[in-house]
Structure 1
Amino acid sequence: MTDVTRDLTDPRRAVVADDLEAGLKEPLFENLEIPEKLGPVTIRVDDHKIKRYAFTQDDYHSWHLVESPFDGKRIAHASLLGNDLVQLFTTVYAASRVVGLHTEEQLWFDSPAYLNEKVTLQGTYTEAYERRGQGYVVMEATATGEDGRSILRHRGVEILRTAPAKIAGRGSTSPSKRVTGEVSEDAPEFTPNAPASGQVLPPLTKTFTTEQAAVFSRVGEYVRNIHNDLGIARAYGLRVPIVQGQQQYGAMVEALTRAFGSALFTGGRLRVKFLNTVDVHEPVEIRGKVTGVTHDRVELDVWVRKQDGALSAVGWAEMPLPKPNNTK
C-alpha cells in the first residue's frame, strides 16, 4: 500500500493492522516538543476527495465538479486542504485520544489545487504556552503543489486536551479590531465591481448534519472524536457531537469565494477566532462586511452566528479585488 492516498492515513491499513494508532504519542501538553516537526505527508486531491468535501460543506460549485476559470481545470475548494493541515499533528499524536479545541485558524490562499494533483503537507509546532489553566500550542504548516508552488499556508492555535463544554464561550484575548456581527437594515449589498466600506455579503446559511460532521472529522479513517462519536461527545460533557471549527471556517471561505471568485485563490487571507461550539444540526448564518478598500485589496469582518444569536466564530479577511466575470 505504497501508493499515494487521499487521506492523512490510509484506512485500508485496518485489514492488516490491529492498532491503527500504535506508536503515536498521547496528546497531552506535557508531551509537546517545541519545535516539533509534523509530516511531511503527500496526498492526492482526487475526485472522491473533492466530492467528499463538497458533501461535508454542502458546496457543489461547478468549479470543483466541472471546470474553473483556471485554464478550465477542476480545482479543489479553497479550504479543502485546511483540515488536513490542522490534523497534521495526528501523524505524531494519537488522533482518537484528542479532545482539543481549535481556538484560532489562519490561511493564506496562494494558488488552487488541481484535480488529481499530489500535494505535500508539512508543519511544525512552533510555540506552546499556558493561559487560564489551558495548554495552547501553535502550528505553522504548508501545502505545496507538485511543481513546488505554494497552495496554502496555515497558522493555527489549539488547546491540545480540554473539556469543550466547560470552556467554550468564555472568550479569548481580544484583538484590537473587534467583530460585532452587527449589520444595519439599510446596509448596501456587496458589489464586486465597486466594493466600498459598509457593504455586506449576502447571508449564507448552513446546517451541518451528523453525517457531514462525521465525514469531515475523519470517520472514514476510523478516527473517533467529539465530532463524530456520540459516546465520546457525552463523555466530555456534550449532549451531541459538535461541528469542527475548521468546518465552520470552510463555510466562511465559501461565502468569500462567492463574493470574490477566483481572486480568493491567488492572494486571499482569512484569520478566524472560534468563540462558541456549534452542535450538529444547529443552523448557523455566515455574514461579512467590508471595512476598508485600497487600490487592490478589500478588508472585511466575517462571522458565524448561531440560531440563539451568539457568535460562534469571528474573522478578518483581506481579499484581492474581484476579477470581472469570475465570481460565479
Structure 2
Amino acid sequence: MTQQSTSLAVGAALPTVMRTITQQKIDAYALASGDGNPLHTDPAFAANTQFGGTIAHGMLLLGYVSEMMTAAFGEDWLTGGRLKVRFRATARPGDTLTSAGTVTSVEGGKTVCAIECRNESGEVLVSGQAEVSRS
C-alpha cells in the first residue's frame, strides 16, 4: 500500500479506516511486539483490574492511524511521517474503531493533519497531529 502521495488541500478529509478490535488481534499484536502484558492478553487477570477486562495496546490503535495516513500519503508517509498524539481512553475487544483526520495546513513541503481514533460510541481514544514531509 505505497501509492503516490496525494496532494490534499487544507480542510480535506483523510480516508477513514474502520477496524473491529478482537482478542485475537490483541494477542497477535502482543506476539509481534513482544508486549505480553497480561492486561492485554489474560482476560482472567485483566478482569480484576481497573479496566475490568483486556484492553488493546495503544500502539495497535496507532497502527490503524498509520494505515489511514498511508492511504492518504503513500510513500511520503512511510518515509517522512510523524505522529504526536495523546491516548485518551482504552479500546476493548468488540469495539469498532474509526481513524479519521483533516488537513490543517500545507506549507513548504509539509502537510499537517489533525487526527483521531474513536470507538463506535464516538468516544475519542486517540487524538493528535500527524505531519508528512513530501519528497
The 5 Å alignment of 1:13-52 reads none
Candidates 75, 91, 97, aligned match of 1:284: 97
Please report how far the alpha carbon of residue 222 of structure 1 lies from its aligned counterpart in structure 2 after TM superposition. Answer: 9.2
Distance 1:267 1:280, change over 3 A: same
2:29 & 2:38 partners in 1: Cα distance? 11
The answer on 1:192 being equivalent to 2:1 is: no
Q: List aligned pairs for 1:7-156, cutoff 5 A.
A: 61=1
Match of 1:207 among 9, 12, 20: 20
1:235 corresponds, among 48, 55, 77, to 48
Match of 2:119 among 289, 300, 306: 306
TM-score by length of 1: 0.38
**Superposition RMSD on alpha carbons, in Å?**
2.4
Deviation at 1:238, TM superposition (A): 2.7
* Cα distance in 1 between the residues matched to 2:26 and 2:75: 27
Deviation at residue 214 of structure 1 after TM alignment: 1.2
Rg comparison, structure with higher value: 1
Specify whether residues 219 and 247 from structure 1 end up closer, same or farther in structure 2 by C-alpha distance, changes over 3 A only: closer
Match for residue 88 of structure 2 among 262, 275, 282: 275
Partner of 1:13: none
From 57, 68, 71, give the equivalent of 1:244.
57
Compared with structure 1, are the counterparts of its residues 295 and 274 closer, same or farther at alpha carbon in structure 2 (3 Å cutoff)? same
1:224 to partner: Cα distance: 4.5
The whole-number CA distance in structure 1 between the counterparts of 2:35 and 2:113 is 38
Which residue in 1 is equivalent to 2:36?
223
- Following superposition, the deviation at residue 308 of structure 1 comes to 1.1
Cα 1:222–1:312 change in 2 (3 A) is: closer
The answer for unaligned runs of 5 or more in structure 1 is 1-60, 70-190, 324-328
Letter matched to residue 293 of structure 1: V
Q: Deviations over 1:231-288 (max 9, x none)?
A: 1111213333111111001110110011100011222111111000111121010001
Q: CA deviation at 1:219?
A: 8.4
TM-score normalized by structure 2?
Answer: 0.89
Question: For the structure 1 residues 222 and 274, does the alpha-carbon distance in structure 2 shift closer, same or farther, using more than 3 Å as the test?
Answer: closer
